[in-house]
Amino acid sequence: MTITPTPQTSLGHPVQAPRSNGPVGTGEPPKRSRSATRERLLDAAAVVFAARGVAGASVEEVCERAGFTRGAFYSNFATKDELVVALLDREEGALLDQLTTALGDALTDPDPVGACAQRLFELQPFGAHNYALRAELTLLAVRDPSLAAPYRATRRSFRDRFLPFLSEGLAAARLELTVPADDALDTLEALFEASVRASIVAGDPNAPDNLAARMLPVLLGAMTTPRCD
Amino acid sequence: MTITPTPQTSLGHPVQAPRSNGPVGTGEPPKRSRSATRERLLDAAAVVFAARGVAGASVEEVCERAGFTRGAFYSNFATKDELVVALLDREEGALLDQLTTALGDALTDPDPVGACAQRLFELQPFGAHNYALRAELTLLAVRDPSLAAPYRATRRSFRDRFLPFLSEGLAAARLELTVPADDALDTLEALFEASVRASIVAGDPNAPDNLAARMLPVLLGAMTTPRCD
DNA sequence: TGTATTGGATACGCCACCGTATCCGATACG
DNA sequence: CGTATCGGATACGGTGGCGTATCCAATACA
């Protein structure tokens, strides 16, 4: 299961509603608008970067996959790096969205903890493609301090927006954290990361019996205490 | 603190004692032996790959840093990929060595758990350079299934050789695992990885107050039970 | 001391990719 | 209905880096 820039079924860019620009709300045909092309380029970049790595990916392949030429690209982004930063921004939002809805769903499950483990594990951002992309973006921040700042900001924003959901979930389960929320989040994130990576490398993605599923209850138990209210 | 292939003070390769090869112990001038050049190339590759990424690194820079030309390189490795695999192999051994000695030291500490957290955290393989290198090698395995197999084998071997030390350490602390040893190892590794990454990105490496130090006792408590023997 | 073998350096061809400068078509506007 | 503007395509020069083919030096060996 090599990660390849899947041959692109059509010119459809399934996910991500186009950021509104100009007069919107009217169902225009995919207008030749600046922001629309940016989105398509970003979509393409996500796939190609995931497969080949940022350094290994050529601007050309990104454009090709997006259905444009390099001319269009350089008309939208000054450089490849700029594309990377833009992508980093976008991915954070996508991740947050998916996390929160998945968590919301899981809470209605008879076994909330187990449901969390499995549902989060199956999230797109934890699939092979997106895992590679996220890992690489992180790696870039580790290497390049000029990216570290935006990276930290992005994470901070993610945290601030996600923590409420975590609290909510714990409250619903009648649990209270016994460690700092940031630490809990980091630890759980690390667990999922390791779990997803192991599954990918093992070749059986979405394995229902994964590290996260086994360890989440244990870790959660260690980091929380039942609350009597 | 950008990760740069430090300007190389001289032609010395400071870290990493040279793996003995041929008649060693006598202080010969760096003999012109095949395996010695391989080692120097590998040393150089570790640094350059860490700084620029595998794809971003040129064979030329690796050679330059090792003090050779590309001719020498291609006489020792068929391709850049081959170099990567060789490096992957070597790093695993180095990590294991350092881990075991660090753990050994920590066990003599009055506070074994705290000492573990701090000593492991300060290990070279967890420094910025090596973290980036290891993260990238992992990422390559995620992307390329032909690397996934060697990667799994490497990890398996690492596990098999490390688990005894873990058991030993736990025994010394009169503890017994309540979860599968593999899971425990994966979880702890994930914790350290996240901790190290956070410190690097935050810009304060070797921070004595890190995620691992805070959470290791908690996790350890969750995964073990005191043993009465 | 002369010859063979091994390790490394030099030099070359080649291709991918980048970034820009210029050109073309379509929509917006008066 | 003509004209300006905007988005994208084409075309081009330039560079970096890969892999190889050939040449040179030193050691091993006889």
What distances in angstroms separate CA B118 from CA A3, B102, B159, B163, one per listed residue? Answer: 37, 10, 21, 20
Locate the domains of chain B by residue range.
34-76, 84-226
Residues of A in contact with B186 (CB under 8 A): 194-195, 198, 211
Task: Quote the CATH superfamily of domain B84-226.
Answer: Tetracycline Repressor, domain 2 (1.10.357.10)
pLDDT tier, A29 (very low <50, low <70, confident <90, very high otherwise)? very low
B103 part of contact set with chain A, CB < 8 Å: no
Distance B71 CA to D23 C1' (A): 12
One-letter amino acid at B120 equals L
| In the predicted structure, residue A229 carries a pLDDT above the cut 70 | no
Alpha carbons within 13 angstroms on the beta-carbon side of residue A47 total: 19
pLDDT digits (tens, 9 = 90+) for A42-82: 999 999 999 999 999 999 999 999 999 999 999 999 999 89
Residue at minimum CA to C1' distance from nucleotide D11: A71
160-219 of A, contacting B, C-beta below 8 A: 179-180, 183, 186-187, 189-191, 193-195, 197-198, 200-203, 211, 214-215, 218-219
Length of chain A: 229
Nearest to B138 among A2, A197, A215 (CB): A197
pLDDT of amino acid B7:
45
Q: For tokens 């990238």, name the residue.
A: B136
pLDDT of amino acid A211:
94
One digit per residue, the tens of pLDDT, for chain B of length 229 reads 556 665 443 222 222 223 333 333 333 344 567 889 999 999 999 999 999 999 999 999 999 999 999 999 999 999 998 999 899 888 888 888 998 899 888 888 898 888 888 888 888 888 888 889 999 989 998 888 878 888 898 889 989 999 998 888 888 888 999 999 999 999 999 999 999 999 988 888 777 789 999 999 999 999 999 987 6
State how far the Cα of A146 lies from the Cα of A142, in Å rounded to an integer: 10
CATH code assigned to A85-226 = 1.10.357
| Residues facing A177 on adjacent strands | A224
Angle at Cα B194 formed by Cα A154 and Cα B103, nearest 5°?
A: 160
pLDDT of amino acid B172:
85
Buried-exposed string B97-109: b where 16+ CB fall within 10 A, e elsewhere: ebbbebbeebeee
Which nucleotide is the nearest neighbour of B69, by CA and C1'? C9
| Best CATH choice for the domain B34-76 from the list 3.40.190.10, 1.10.10.60, 3.20.20.210, 2.50.20.10 | 1.10.10.60
Helix (H, G, I), strand (E, B), or coil: what is residue A2?
Answer: coil
Length of chain B: 229
One-letter amino acid at A23 equals P
- Report the candidate in B213, B191, B46, B187 with the shortest Cα–Cα distance to residue B119: B213
End-to-end CA separation in angstroms for chain B:
50
Q: Do A135 and B142 touch (CB under 8 A)?
A: yes
Question: Cα distance from A59 to chain B (closest Cα, Å)?
Answer: 14
Distance B33 CA to C3 C1' (A): 22
56-95 of A, contacting B, C-beta below 8 A: 56
A136 part of contact set with chain B, CB < 8 Å: yes
- Concatenated DSSP letters for A101-153? HHHHHHHTSSSHHHHHHHHHHTSGGGSHHHHHHHHHHHHHHHH-HHHHHHHHH
CB–CB of A224/A176 below 8 Å? yes
One-letter amino acid at B45 equals A
Residues of B in contact with A194 (CB under 8 A): 186-187, 189-190, 193
State how far the Cα of B207 lies from the Cα of B121, in Å rounded to an integer: 9
State how far the Cα of B116 lies from the Cα of B224, in Å rounded to an integer: 16
